[in-house]
A and B are shown apart, each in its own frame.
Chain A
Amino acid sequence: MKQGAEFDPATPLTPTGNLRRRQLFSKLAEYGATAAAVIAVGVLAIVTYTVFTRGAAALDLDFLIKGAPDGIGPELVGTAIIVAIATAMAMPVGVLIALYLTEYAGNRAAHLVKLTMDVMNGLPSIIIGLFIFGLMVNHHKQSGFAGSVALAIIMLPLIARGTQEVLQLVPVHQREAADALGVSRWRAVVGVVLPNAIGGIATATVLSVARAAGETAPLIFASSVFDPGSYYMNPFEALPNVSVRIYSLSEEANPEGFTEAWGLSMILISFILFASLGARALLARSKRKMAS
């Protein structure tokens, strides 16, 4: 066969044939992808900007510590209690599920549990709210605790999957070192595997807390009939909380209520941003530590 029949290798190295068209296409794809990324960042920026500019007007010390109509103190405390109880329930179970997945389960069981966690993660929160309503509220009464259980269900897959991912990063040679010392499996897990992964576990928990703090639908079922005027601490009563308060204020035809709702939103979004960024920093630090 004759060589070099397709082109003359001596011509200048400028685009020939359909190369111009292919390059144009490639450029278009690049711009499209860049634009999509910019839009995503832009949406977050616009939402944050809007919430902060409108909410800032409401913000002062009274707003943070007093009850309605001046402030949102009871909601902040109520949400803190509900989320704290939810975390106390979801974290140990989530970490144990992650340990089951990485340390004990066979391939098939692990696959099934992972799938379950992913499906749970995708469950609409209103369905979880309805479930808790049927289980704990209907024929009883609303309570912050019922809300906590609902939030714990939402947090569980996030903590389990997040923890499982960092547990898998714990190097095999660390596990082997522990195994070779004739120490039982559980001791090896507690003494070597978990300490290696502690940063990642904290990250997963913080991210799930940020997610749970803003969940509204389950709390509308579980803890929405409350008096926003004073503080309530008993989790077996309905507790004032941030997300339901934002919802009910925005339903009222009251301009001051809108400002208050924006202010509350600002606090919620600041917390979520702060928690997420903090969690990332924590994870980056623990990954560096693991790599060294």
Chain B
Amino acid sequence: MTDLDSLPPLDTSAPPQRVRLRTEPLPGLADALTESSNGHWQVAPEIVFDSQDVSVFYGPKQALTGVNLAIRRGQVTALIGPSGCGKTTFLRSLNRMNDSVPAFRIEGQILYHGHDIYGSGVDQVEVRRRIGMVFQKPNPFPKSIYDNVAWAPRNLGMRAGLDERVEKALRGAALWDEVKDRIKDSALGLSGGQQQRLCIARAIAIEPDVLLLDEPASALDPIATGAIEELVHTLKGRFTIVIVTHNMQQAARVADRTAFFSLESSQVGAVGTLIEFDDTTRIFGDPRDPRTRDYVNGRFG
């Protein structure tokens, strides 16, 4: 695989580049360009995840219905909504973490760089190797700080330069300076916020393409939360990040695009539904859907 650092830096955090064209674009180029409302052509951002009409069931209970959403490369996409709206279910479907849940069933397609995540011949271990995940509650292994970060690279055969890799991952997670003198100590001795950053270091040590963050700061105090948000800022661009949060201010602070999920009643009971997906500024400033407006203005949920 390509070492991401050997590539020239790619500033994908900047807004999509605008290109003014006087003629129609070349045939092959047409797919990559979209015409914006004011007549400019712009380079379409690369899509990492393309969710097409995704519905999720746990046994007879439907948890999500008809989700269509495209997640762009190098950006931070936030999933917000009230409890039980299916945002975590959707996140966990992106790297097949729900496979171990009994009676889990998914309909529709989730394309990852054009490949169906649930397609035949797709190996869930390979999926997760490229799509890392950090959980709500910090879950370091009961090993040393070093071994926590080094464990996955060792098991994946990335033994060369392991010390440097561990240091780079810990630096990437803004934890190196705090732990460099006690890297052989147990990870369980770290504070909650440090443990969560360790889990992020552990996830980025194998250089995945995508990081899924499931309410990564919900178990942390405000200062540790600030550190995590800061970290999400520095990691974006290098990784495509999808973050679930119940904290709207957090979504507004860290995300480029925001998806609002809600529970909508249907014949089969309340089902998680994607209400609106747009630029974060739009979702919080001028949402199209009244339900989004009510939620972001704190009228319910």
Contacts and interface: CB of A to CB of B under 8 A. Distances in A.
Contact of A179 (B128, B142, B155): B128
A191 B155 contact: yes
Given A176-B97, A177-B199, A182 B130 contact: yes
* Interface size, A (range): 20 to 34
Contact of B135 (A177, A183, A191, A195): A177
Most B CB contacts (10 A, CB to CB) among A182, A184, A185, A292 go to A182
A181 B135 contact: no
Contacts of B155: 181, 183-184, 187, 191
B139 A183 contact: no
B141 A177 contact: yes
The DSSP consensus for interface residues of chain A is helix
A176 to B, nearest CB: 6
Contacts of B160: none
Contacts of A182: 125-130, 132, 152, 156, 206, 208
Contacts of A178: 141
B190 interface: no
* Interface size, B (range): 20 to 34
Given A181-B129, A181-B202, 7 more contacts: A173-B135, A173-B137, A177-B140, A181-B132, A182-B130, A191-B151, A196-B142
Interface of B: 95, 97, 100, 125-130, 132-135, 137, 139-143, 151-152, 155-156, 188, 199, 202-203, 206, 208
21 contacts: A171-B139, A173-B135, A176-B97, A177-B135, A177-B199, A179-B97, A180-B128, A181-B202, A182-B127, A182-B130, A182-B132, A182-B156, A183-B129, A183-B156, A184-B155, A187-B155, A192-B141, A195-B143, A196-B142, A290-B142, A292-B188
Interface of A: 171, 173-174, 176-185, 187, 191-192, 195-196, 289-290, 292
